């Protein structure tokens, strides 16, 4: 009887051997925690479609940031929800608006120990829910929106943001934000560009999280799901315009896109495990259909294996706690 000369199972025999040859590892610094802070709250408000995630009060936001620092997370990404919205997202530019004052407060709490990142988009601030200002006909006006994005970038940098993250998918957004930051003396503030952001059904719970006012969809500016090559073009454009990091969003259903982008990019590539991905795991686990911890770790490992330098995930703090347990 002949026996196999090559036996890959040898290296799977024990947990220690599997750990020895693991090609992908997770570390708290790989993870970025997205957080929502809502103006006017005096206590955290649970988000029903995202069990375990809340809209933070300004006080509880600081507690979450402190925990993220203690856990050694790679960063915290802030999304602000204002009390008053209008057609042009005026609150996004207010130095005392909910997002900018929260950036300042979190930065004062964590210092240089935790990168404070800020979402740079108008959707949370407009009364129509779109990521830009509208024309008289109701279309998103790309170039008029860019003017506001430039001002937002400067406002967030002056509030203390370590990283600004334009997510609106407007053509030319990285270039105008980079120019505005440089002209305002913020040459050292990096840009994390949402480069390949798809118009996805996986964003559903996020709409509740930010109390979105959107009617309709964002398909005229976010990418179309069938397209693969276009993602490379978008990422290449953002890098050329000055992006220091780029992102693919969503993550799990777009691992092919992530792998493509990571293969050619000479800047770090992040991926966002979005609200719908989070909610599906939590819903299945609540029914007892999957091993919650196992699926969470496997999903993040898959995103990292596909090429993500960092992963934005609502499970970030919990995963970091597990990793510290050993």
Q: Give the confidence band of 167 by pLDDT, cuts at 50, 70, 90.
A: very high
Strand partners, 194: 247
CB 99 within 8 A of CB 78: yes
CB 79 within 8 A of CB 34: yes
What is residue 126's DSSP assignment? Answer: B
Task: Judge whether 207 is annotated as a binding position.
Answer: yes
What is residue 43's DSSP assignment? Answer: S
The whole-angstrom separation of Cα 101 and Cα 104 is 5
The whole-angstrom separation of Cα 240 and Cα 235 is 9
Q: Give the confidence band of 1 by pLDDT, cuts at 50, 70, 90.
A: low
What digits encode the pLDDT tens for the residues 46-67?
Answer: 999 999 999 999 999 999 999 9
- pLDDT number for residue 66: 98
- pLDDT number for residue 209: 82
pLDDT at 78 over 70: yes
Task: Judge whether 314 is annotated as a binding position.
Answer: yes
Is 107 an annotated catalytic residue? no
CB atoms within 10 A of CB 9: 8
Is 197 an annotated catalytic residue? yes
Determine the 3-state secondary structure of 248 from DSSP. strand
Instruction: Specify the DSSP element, H or E, that contains 197.
Output: strand 192-197
User: Structure pTM?
Assistant: 0.96
- pLDDT number for residue 46: 96
Which alpha helices (H) appear in the chain, and where do they start and end? 15-20, 58-71, 98-110, 142-159, 173-183, 204-209, 229-241, 255-264, 275-286, 292-305, 316-325
What digits encode the pLDDT tens for the residues 278-301?
Answer: 999 999 999 999 999 999 999 999
Instruction: Give domain limits for the chain.
Output: 26-216+226-325
Task: Judge whether 241 is annotated as a binding position.
Answer: no
CB 277 within 8 A of CB 315: no
Q: Give the confidence band of 216 by pLDDT, cuts at 50, 70, 90.
A: confident
26-216+226-325, CATH topology level: TIM Barrel (3.20.20)
The whole-angstrom separation of Cα 163 and Cα 274 is 19
- Of these residues, 130, 249, 304, 315, which one is catalytic? 249
**What rounded mean pLDDT belongs to the chain?**
96
Q: Give the confidence band of 186 by pLDDT, cuts at 50, 70, 90.
A: very high
Determine the 3-state secondary structure of 125 from DSSP. coil
Q: How far is CA 104 from CA 38, 58, 76, 83, in A?
A: 15, 11, 13, 18
Total residues belonging to the chain: 326
pLDDT at 326 over 80: no
Tell me what the mean pLDDT of segment 11-24 comes to: 96
CB 110 within 8 A of CB 75: no
What digits encode the pLDDT tens for the residues 90-140?
Answer: 999 999 999 999 999 999 999 999 999 999 999 999 999 899 999 999 999
Per cent of the chain over pLDDT 70 is 100
- Of these residues, 128, 197, 304, 315, which one is catalytic? 197
Q: Which two tokens stand for residue 64?
A: 């979450």
What digits encode the pLDDT tens for the residues 254-273?
Answer: 999 999 999 999 999 999 99
CB atoms within 10 A of CB 127: 12
- pLDDT number for residue 294: 98
What are the backbone angles phi and psi of residue 186, rounded to the nearest 5°?
-110, 50
Strand partners, 136: none
CB atoms within 10 A of CB 284: 14
- pLDDT number for residue 273: 98
Q: Which two tokens stand for residue 110?
A: 């964590």
């Amino acid at each position: 009887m002949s026996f196999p000369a090559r036996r890959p199972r040898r290296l799977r025999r024990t947990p220690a051997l599997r750990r020895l040859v693991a090609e992908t590892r997770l570390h708290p610094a790989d993870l970025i925690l997205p957080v929502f802070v809502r103006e006017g709250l005096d206590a955290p408000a649970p988000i029903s479609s995202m069990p375990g995630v809340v809209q933070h009060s300004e006080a509880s936001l600081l507690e979450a940031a402190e925990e993220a620092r203690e856990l050694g997370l790679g960063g915290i990404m802030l999304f602000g929800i204002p009390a008053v919205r209008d057609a042009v997202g005026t609150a996004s530019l207010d130095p005392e608006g909910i997002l900018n004052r929260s950036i300042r407060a979190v930065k004062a709490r964590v210092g240089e120990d935790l990168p404070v990142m800020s979402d740079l988009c108008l959707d949370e601030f407009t009364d129509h829910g779109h990521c830009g200002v509208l024309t008289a006909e109701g279309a998103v006006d790309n170039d008029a929106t860019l003017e506001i994005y430039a001002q937002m970038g400067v406002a967030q940098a002056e509030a203390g943001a370590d990283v600004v993250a334009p997510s609106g998918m407007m053509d030319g957004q990285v270039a105008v934000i980079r120019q505005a930051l440089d002209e305002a003396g913020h040459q050292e503030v990096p840009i994390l560009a949402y480069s390949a952001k798809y118009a996805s059904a996986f964003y559903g719970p996020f709409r509740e999280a930010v109390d979105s006012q959107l009617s309709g969809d964002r398909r005229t500016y976010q990418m179309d799901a069938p397209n693969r090559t276009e993602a490379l073009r978008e990422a290449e454009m953002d890098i050329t315009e000055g992006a220091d990091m780029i992102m693919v969003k969503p993550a799990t259903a777009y691992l092919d896109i992530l792998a493509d982008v990571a293969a050619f990019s000479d800047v770090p590539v992040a991926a966002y495990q979005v609200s719908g991905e989070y909610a599906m795991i939590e819903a299945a686990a609540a029914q007892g259909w999957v091993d919650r911890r196992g699926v969470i770790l496997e999903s993040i490992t898959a995103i990292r294996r596909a090429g993500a330098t960092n992963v934005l995930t609502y499970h970030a703090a919990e995963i970091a706690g597990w990793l510290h347990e050993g």
